[in-house]
Structure 1
Amino acid sequence: MNIQPVVLVVEDEEDIAELLRFALTRVGFSVVWMKNLSDARHHVNKILPDVVVLDWMLPDGEGVLWMRQLRDNQRTRHLPIIMLTARAQEADKLKGLEGGADDYVTKPFSPKELVARINNVLRRAAPQHVAQVFEFAGCTLNDDDHTLTKGSVVETLGKTEFKLLKFLLTHHNKTFSRTQLLDLVWGDHVYIEERTVDVHVLRLRKILQRFGAESYLETIRGVGYRWRAV
């Protein structure tokens, strides 16, 4: 029942793209493959992936140049990006990392190592997408089956309530507006009303009441919501 992080693979070599798709899907990622920068731009403009695996040389341009454009855009500034390229010279690695890459992997590569590097990048940049078990106020939130437990009390959370609680737990003591939560929990470019957030927060509060933990989910008047660290 884990929520699959989406990896955008921008790679023009079909055999490498297929190897990536196989390696990533078997460990729980959802893979979107684009062969060129034009298609990749169009996809990112519609909806943000959770991480990008980006080749340097593509049929219609250099991936590193697009990466710099992404870093200059407020919407995509913090999008995790891993360069995957045959360019193995130190100068190229420095250019890629200084251009904004979170990591740099050279071809030929180990699929297992790449998976580990993707998980490391997500753990730093988007911890809500990494499988974890959370404990707070005597409660345990389990990523495998979306259950919240405390002693003999067990509740299976709906998909949205689970995503919302996990996001807040991984970003505790930070206040988020309704608009931010819509983008970060529901998904970028999902067009639903802001009051939808309030409805799901109310549902989550009712669940937390059963566990004596509702006080940790705070309403910041005029701003949004925050999870107070235990």
Structure 2
Amino acid sequence: MRKPLALIVEDEPMIVVEIEASLKQAGFAVASEPSCVRARQILALVEPDVVILDVLLQDGVSSSVAEELVARNIPFVIYSATDIEGRGEAFKAGTFVEKPADDSVLVALASSMARASAAGEHASIWIKPRQVGTV
């Protein structure tokens, strides 16, 4: 049985290292790219089971990557501190997790999305961390 493939599209090296280690520990094969252009090149070659996608990358807003993921029905988690409001319709198809979040949240979502995708299902949810001091 092959490992599910996760593609991390993120330009912050420390974030990539942390997420990659957590996903590998959970049984994923992992690839990462720091830019929209390189992510789209990878997507031309392989079809990941799930993508972890930052909004603002070194070469711009990742809406073109999100649009391709939507067109190809590849599930994705938008992992960003940037508000996606007004950044493109394609982002609405992804699951949003606001930075910073525990890696276990990303792993749980990636695992769930990979299983759902394999079963022909797709779902989107929004997760924002609780503010310190709020109930």
Unaligned runs of 5+ in 2: 122-135
Report the Cα distance in structure 1 between the residues aligned to 2:15 and 2:52, rounded to whole angstroms.
12
Q: Please report the TM-score for the alignment, with normalisation by the length of structure 1.
A: 0.47
Deviation at 1:122, TM superposition (A): 2.0
Which 10-residue stretch deviates more, 26-35 or 113-122?
113-122
Give the 3-state SS of the residue equivalent to 1:84 in structure 2.
strand
Is 2:15 aligned against 1:4?
no
1:15-94 pair list within 5 angstroms: 15-71=14-70, 73=71, 76=72, 78-87=73-82, 89=83, 92=84
Structure 1 residue 69 displacement after superposition: 3.8
Partner amino acid, structure 2, of 1:22: A
1:98 Cα offset (Å): 5.8
TM-score in terms of structure 2 length: 0.78
In structure 2, give the amino acid aligned to 1:85.
S
1:67-146 pair list within 5 angstroms? 67-71=66-70, 73=71, 76=72, 78-87=73-82, 89=83, 92=84, 99-127=91-119
Larger Rg: 1
Structure showing greater relative contact order (alpha-carbon pairs closer than 8 Å, 6 or more residues apart):
2
How many percent of aligned residue pairs carry the same amino acid? 29
CA distance in 1: counterparts of 2:116 and 2:86, whole angstroms: 20
One-letter identity of the residue aligned with 1:9? I
Q: CA RMSD in A?
A: 2.4
Give the counterpart letter for 1:121 in structure 2: M
Distance 1:22 1:93 in 2: 30
Does the CA-based 8 Å contact 2:11-2:57 persist in structure 1?
yes
Name the amino acid aligned to 1:118: A
The 8 Å contact of residues 23 and 30 in structure 2, kept in 1 or not, is answered as yes
SS in 2 for 1:99: helix
> Which 5+ residue runs of structure 1 have no aligned equivalent?
128-169, 172-230
**Matched ranges for 1:81-230 at <5 A:** 81-87=76-82, 89=83, 92=84, 99-127=91-119
Deviations 1:161-211 (Å, cap 9, x if unpaired)? xxxxxxxxx89xxxxxxxxxxxxxxxxxxxxxxxxxxxxxxxxxxxxxxxx
1:70 Cα deviation after fit: 3.6
* Residues 21 and 40 of structure 1: CA distance in aligned 2, closer, same or farther (over 3 Å): same
Q: Is contact 1:97–1:103 with CA below 8 Å preserved after alignment?
A: no
**Counterpart Cα distance in 2 of 1:121 and 1:97:** 20
Equivalent residues, number:
121
